[in-house]
Amino acid sequence: MIKLTQTVKKGGCAAKIPALILKDILAGVSFPPVLPEVLIDGKDFDDAAIFRISDELSLVQTLDFFTPIVNSPYDFGAIATANALSDVYAMGGQPKTCMAILAAPMSSMEPSVIKEVLQGASDIMAKANASLVGGHSIDDDTLKFGLSVTGLVNTKAIWSNAGALPDDALILTKPLGTGTICAGIKKDSFDEQDSLEVRQSMMRLNNVVDFLSAEQKEAIHAATDVTGFGLAGHGFQMAKASKVSFKIIHQNLPLFKLTRKSLADGNLTKAHLSNLEYTSQHMVFHDLNEIERKIYFDPQTSGGLLLSVSASMAESIVRSLATDFPGTAIIGKVIQQKTQHLYVE
């Protein structure tokens, strides 16, 4: 059977262009004017764009694609789909329509492999009650798959990077470690059974909105999904947009069973280093060893949501999510500070 991870140099969200390089590229481009109906664009590194239709309804628009992060074609399609849909959930919305982005080396890859990728994707879309309405495909040197997604959200209930408030509690809904463990999969350090926990997590939809009451949803002030820039990168982006700092309690971080071992074994990606470079001036660690620090720079694929919520509602939200999102935990709090940092204790 073909091992998809052996057909590419980089996999999943670890294949992202490094944040500092991307920032430099974007700074040199003159973009078109922003329409007045655009409520959220890319300036604060939000997960998706918001286009207002009315005072009650807005469109959520996003896209995401990457190269294989696991060996199973079916699982790859499912993970890529859950990862793309996550951007809509991170804005408090519901995905509705999807368009596929597919590149495949047709001279060296059997059509049956592509069918499995699309079936994995379709099954996750069905769970999300979203429709595949088309897409575009090209013949390319390496397999790449993802989606452009359109969703809907209540205009008055949008989540963004910019709403975290001092004294909020910080909740993370999935364990950390997909980057290092998937690097280990590529090196054949872990077999299918070893990686089952992390593969199931990456295929899990981030549809937390479906499990919360109206009161709980209102208690969420800011949200983002933790993907290729790691907890450090995405946490910093949220703190910066909200003009606050975060205090993280290291012992509260949810981790996969293999995360520490995989990091200790040296299963790393280039993104570990680029994420460190991106956030090094904004991270303050207290008494953590080198392996523990690497957790914060680990590039997640289809990672969990980082939520900034009213402290009084935090325990209630964790209880509501615990069954369907094992590992959900309160990992810290928001603090008021002029310069934005992530403090880790």
Active site residue 182: no
- The pLDDT, as a whole number, for residue 174 is 98
- The pLDDT, as a whole number, for residue 336 is 94
Where is 123: in which H helix or E strand?
helix 111-127
Topology alike, domains 33-157 and 161-344: no
The whole-angstrom separation of Cα 302 and Cα 246 is: 22
- β-pairing, 38-40 vs 49-52, is antiparallel
- What would the mean pLDDT of 86-105 be, rounded to a whole number? 97
The residue behind tokens 């040296």 is: 266
The pLDDT-based confidence of 7 (bands split at 50, 70, 90) is: confident
203-219, pLDDT tens digit by residue? 999 999 999 999 999 99
Handedness of CA 261, 266, 267, 272 (dihedral sign): positive
The pLDDT-based confidence of 18 (bands split at 50, 70, 90) is: confident
pLDDT at 10 over 70: no
Q: Which of 4, 13, 208, 238 is catalytic?
A: 13
Q: Strand order in 169-172's β-sheet?
A: 220-225, 305-309, 169-172, 329-335, 245-248, 342-344, 283-285
The whole-angstrom separation of Cα 26 and Cα 233 is: 17
**pTM across the whole model:** 0.94
Contact 131, 98 (CB under 8 A): yes
> Candidates 3.30.1330.10, 3.40.50.300, 3.40.640.10, 3.90.850.10; correct CATH number of 33-157?
3.30.1330.10
Would you tell me how many other CB atoms lie within 10 Å of the CB of residue 260?
16
Would you tell me how many other CB atoms lie within 10 Å of the CB of residue 24?
10
- What would the mean pLDDT of 295-322 be, rounded to a whole number? 98
pLDDT at 1 over 70: no
Level-2 CATH architecture, domain 161-344: Alpha-Beta Complex (3.90)
Nearest residue to 212 (alpha-carbon basis) of 96, 328, 52: 328
pLDDT higher for 253 or 17? 253
46-92, pLDDT tens digit by residue? 999 999 999 999 999 999 999 999 999 999 999 999 999 999 999 99
- State the amino acid at position 92 in one-letter form: G
Q: To the nearest 10°, the Cα dihedral for 62, 316, 284, 45?
A: 10
261-306, pLDDT tens digit by residue? 999 999 999 999 999 999 999 999 999 999 999 999 999 999 999 9
pLDDT, the chain, mean: 94
The residue behind tokens 């790393």 is: 268
- The pLDDT, as a whole number, for residue 4 is 87
pLDDT at 22 over 90: no
- The pLDDT, as a whole number, for residue 212 is 97
| Those residues with Cβ within 8 angstroms of residue 284's Cβ, 6 or more apart along the chain or in another chain | 341, 342, 343, 344
Per-domain residue ranges of the chain? 33-157, 161-344
**For 89, what's the count of Cα atoms within 13 Å in the CB-facing half-sphere?**
27
Nearest residue to 232 (alpha-carbon basis) of 161, 295, 308, 307: 295
- The pLDDT, as a whole number, for residue 5 is 80
The pLDDT-based confidence of 16 (bands split at 50, 70, 90) is: confident
What are the counts of helices (DSSP H) followed by strands (DSSP E) for the chain? 11, 13
157-196, pLDDT tens digit by residue? 999 999 999 999 999 999 999 999 999 998 999 988 899 9
- What would the mean pLDDT of 324-336 be, rounded to a whole number? 96
- The pLDDT, as a whole number, for residue 13 is 60
Burial grade of 9 (CB within 10 A; 0-12, 13-18, 19 or more): exposed
pLDDT at 124 over 90: yes
Helix axes 270-279, 290-297, angle to 10 degrees: 90
223-248, pLDDT tens digit by residue? 999 999 999 999 999 999 999 999 99
